Chain A
């Protein structure tokens, strides 16, 4: 079993839809959870950064972590065509200064 599993999609939704992106993981030591957005031919950019379990909201984006189920989610409300990108989950057990383990990414297309 891979340490981090992420459905690669692709996922196609109409503009304005609520999008749910998910990752599962096997290492119970992971405590730091991140979501990155990667536009085509660009480097990943940090979108959300959460520690341990709970929710974090930033504008149209909400990150959820359920450590008991080893499951993390990213919700995008009122999705826009500009949200079309690949979304990568990432996690670590040591505050981010050590190596991150990434999911393979989910490619999202938001259609106008």
Chain B
């Protein structure tokens, strides 16, 4: 997906450990989002950002925190991973042309 890079692409971690997922964009878009996608639930918004150091909670923010110190980077942190956070995580940006999604991070918490 042009302009958005998510890292890592895959991760397996143990319950109780902290995990940070990174989203990097090269489009200089102001708005950035973190979604999780689960079978039976679709895409659900975790947190979003409307500028550097400006963030807000989404629908399923419990257990997650975010930071945005630069326009191009939006970090999602699971403070203490739980099995219920096993999911595919997508980062997205927005401009006048609509939303653009990254390729996703597949996270497994064991």
Q: Is the CB of A104 within 8 A of B99?
A: no
What are 24 inter-chain pairs, A to B, with CB distance below 8 A? A6-B42, A41-B104, A42-B104, A43-B90, A43-B92, A43-B101, A43-B102, A43-B104, A44-B43, A44-B90, A44-B99, A44-B101, A46-B98, A46-B99, A49-B98, A88-B43, A96-B94, A99-B45, A99-B58, A100-B43, A103-B42, A104-B40, A104-B42, A105-B42
- Chain B positions near chain A (C-beta within 8 angstroms): 1, 31, 33, 40-45, 48, 50, 58-59, 90, 92, 94, 97-104
Residue total for A at the interface (Cβ-Cβ under 8 A)? 20
Least CB distance, B8 to chain A, in whole angstroms: 15
Q: Is the CB of A99 within 8 A of B98?
A: no
Label chain A's interface by main secondary structure. Answer: loop
Report the nearest A residue to B104, measured CB to CB.
Answer: A43
Q: Is the CB of B100 within 8 A of A46?
A: yes
Q: Which of B31, B42, B100 is close to A88, meaning CB atoms less than 8 Å apart? A: B42
Least CB distance, B39 to chain A, in whole angstroms: 9
Label chain B's interface by main secondary structure. Answer: strand
Report the nearest B residue to A47, measured CB to CB.
Answer: B98
Residues of B within 8 Å of A42, CB to CB, are: 103-104
